[in-house]
Structure formats: structure tokens, C-alpha cells
């Protein structure tokens, strides 16, 4: 699925770095003040905020008028996903240098995400399995044609220009990390689009998975909860701080606590 390849690189970076503070309140019915350490006012604001990072903030699917195309088989989808994933990862390597705006050695940060590769792969597999966007055998079933380049541009735009309700709760140093994550995403996007200037893998096969806003949001939400992304984010947060992103240090303990509280509720 195209969106997951961006999640593996640019989107995951924003969520797990710039997005860490705003996502702390997700899935918490009531702020568990009694179990939290003593926090500065700003950090309590983040925990108590009614503003949550909603799945609805994901890009909407841009169809090409009333045009349709054949629905891909699951084998075709897997082949294209593998190709696009490889392209995105290749594009990401030189783009890590964008983080030199906020740290001295961006490749140390890359190492944090490299160690989380298995988790990200598992998330992609979970997403695709719950999306049900392909067919088991070749059929004549038609699905809306989607402008993939436009869809990716939407993703990058949302990373470069996050909602004010998100950024206003952050310290200036964390805002710089968010802005840098947006630059990182734009760098990957330009490279990725250039590699597919003559058409994406799906274009060559003449098919697309069935992409709908509802199914994508439902699948992402389900997999994020099933795989307990906060635990993984907490580990990456610690690693990122160790690599030089000191501004995130205040958020790592809260992420770990939220992960523990979620396990207790289930």
C-alpha cells in the first residue's frame, strides 16, 4: 500500500519525533494524574489537552475524476509495495542530513530508526492485512483511480505544516525538530517522485489497491493499538535523546508511562 512506504520513513519520523508530545494523550480516557511524576505546567498541558492527533488529519484520497482502474491482486500489491518501500528507503539515506539543523550527527538518529526496522515492517504487514484492498485472483473489478503523486504531496504538506493546535503546545526546540522532520519528508518525496517520473509500479501493472479514507484510518488505528506504538516510540525517544536530540528528553518518561497504563487497562 503506497501510504505505508511513506510511513516507514518520513511519516514515522514525524510521529515518533516531532509528534511525540502531541500524541501522548491518545487512548487515555482520563489523565491519570496520581500516577504521573511531578511535571512542569507545560507538560501537564500536553497531557490534559483536549486536542488530540486525530486520524482524520491524514490526507484524503484524491481520485482522478470518475476514472477507474483494475483492482490489484494481492500478489501485484505485494510486488509494488516491496519496490516502493525499497525506493523510499534508498531516498531516505541522504535525507537524514537534514537533521544537521538540530543535531551534530544525524546518522546516529538514523541508527535509532534502523533498529526499529522490524517493528515498522510488522506495522506495514498489519496495515495491509487489515485493509483488504486487493483480490486473491485476477478479476475485472474496477476501483477509483488515485493520483498517487498528489497523495504523497498531501502527506508532505501535512508534515511541513502541522496544525497550530499541535505546535502551540511545544517548546521552541521541539518545534524546530518538527520543522526539520517536514524538511526530511520533502527531501524523500522529491527523490521518490523523481524515481517514478515515468509512472509508479501500479501504473505499469495497470491496477491499484482499493484505497478509501475509511479503511485506511481504521487499519492504522487498529494496528497502532495492537502493536502498542507508544512502547516503541518510547524506546526510539530514548535513542533519539542519546543521539543528540536533547529537546525530547522530557517526553520519553511520559511515553513509557502511557504505554504501561495502556497494558494495565487491557
The stretch 124-137 carries a mean pLDDT of: 84
Q: How many residues does the chain have?
A: 266
Which pLDDT does position 226 carry in this prediction?
83
- Cα separation of 43 and 216, whole Å? 31
31, 43 in Cβ contact below 8 A?
no
Residues in contact with 148: Cβ distance below 8 Å, sequence separation at least 6, in sequence order: 2, 200, 202
- Structure confidence at residue 45 (pLDDT): 35
Longest dimension (CA), the chain: 60
68-94 residue pLDDT tens: 999 999 999 989 988 988 888 888 899
pLDDT of amino acid 236: 87
Percentage of the chain surpassing pLDDT 90?
Answer: 24
Strands 63-71 and 142-146 turn out to be: antiparallel
User: Distances from the Cα of 64 to the Cαs of 5, 126, 206, in angstroms?
Assistant: 21, 28, 14
Distances (CA, A) of 153 to 147, 194, 260, 265: 10, 13, 36, 38
pLDDT tens, position by position, 3-12: 444 444 444 5
Quote the domain boundaries for residue 14. 2-265
pLDDT in tens, 199-252: 999 999 999 998 777 887 788 788 878 887 778 888 888 999 999 999 988 888
Model confidence pLDDT, tens digit, residues 150-203: 877 887 887 778 788 777 878 888 889 888 988 988 898 899 999 999 999 999
CA angle 54, 60, 62 (to 5 degrees): 175
Q: How many domains does the chain have?
A: 1
How far apart, in Å, do the first and last CA atoms of the chain sit? 30
What's 7's DSSP letter?
Answer: I
Q: Which pLDDT score, from 0 to 100, does residue 205 have? A: 96
Backbone angles phi, psi at 63, to 5 degrees: -85, 155
**Among 188, 172, 195, 213, which Cα is nearest to 59's?**
213
Residue 61 pLDDT > 90, yes or no?
A: no
User: What pLDDT is recorded for position 263?
Assistant: 57
Task: Give the least confident one: 55-64, 96-105, 113-122, 180-189.
Answer: 55-64
pLDDT, tens digit, 9 for 90 and up, residues 15-60: 445 444 444 434 433 344 434 334 443 433 333 333 344 434 455 5
> pLDDT band at 143, cuts 50/70/90?
very high
- Across the range 118-132, mean pLDDT stands at 80
Conformation bin of residue 80: beta by default, left when phi > 0, alpha when psi is -120 to 50: alpha
Amino acid at each position: 500500500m503506497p501510504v505505508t512506504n511513506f510511513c516507514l520513513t518520513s511519516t514515522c519520523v514525524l510521529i515518533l519525533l516531532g509528534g511525540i508530545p502531541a500524541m501522548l494523550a491518545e487512548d487515555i480516557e482520563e489523565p491519570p494524574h496520581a500516577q504521573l511524576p511531578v511535571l512542569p505546567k507545560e507538560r501537564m498541558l500536553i497531557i490534559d489537552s483536549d486536542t488530540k492527533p486525530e486520524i482524520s488529519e491524514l490526507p484524503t484520497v484524491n481520485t482522478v475524476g470518475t476514472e477507474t482502474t483494475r483492482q490489484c491482486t494481492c500478489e501485484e500489491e505485494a510486488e509494488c509495495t516491496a519496490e516502493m518501500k525499497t525506493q523510499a528507503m534508498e531516498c531516505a539515506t541522504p535525507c537524514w542530513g537534514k537533521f544537521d539543523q538540530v543535531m551534530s550527527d544525524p546518522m546516529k538518529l538514523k541508527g535509532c530508526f534502523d533498529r526499529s526496522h522490524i517493528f515498522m515492517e510488522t506495522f506495514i504487514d498489519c496495515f495491509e492485512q487489515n485493509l483488504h484492498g486487493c483480490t486473491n485472483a485476477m478479476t475485472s473489478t474496477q476501483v477509483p483511480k488515485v493520483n498517487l503523486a498528489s497523495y504523497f504531496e498531501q502527506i508532505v504538506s501535512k508534515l511541513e505544516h502541522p496544525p497550530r493546535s499541535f505546535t502551540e503546545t511545544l517548546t521552541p526546540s521541539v518545534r524546530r525538530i518538527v520543522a526539520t522532520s517536514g524538511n526530511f519528508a520533502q527531501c524523500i518525496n522529491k527523490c521518490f517522485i523523481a524515481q517514478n517520473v515515468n509512472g509508479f509500479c501500479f501504473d505499469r501493472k495497470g491496477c491499484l489497491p482499493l484505497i478509501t479514507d475509511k479503511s485506511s484510518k481504521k487499519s492504522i488505528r487498529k494496528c497502532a493499538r495492537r502493536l502498542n506504538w507508544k512502547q516503541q516510540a518510547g524506546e526510539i525517544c530514548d535513542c533519539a535523546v542519546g543521539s543528540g536530540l536533547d529537546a525530547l528528553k522530557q517526553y520519553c518518561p511520559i511515553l513509557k508511562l502511557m504505554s504501561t497504563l495502556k497494558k494495565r487497562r487491557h
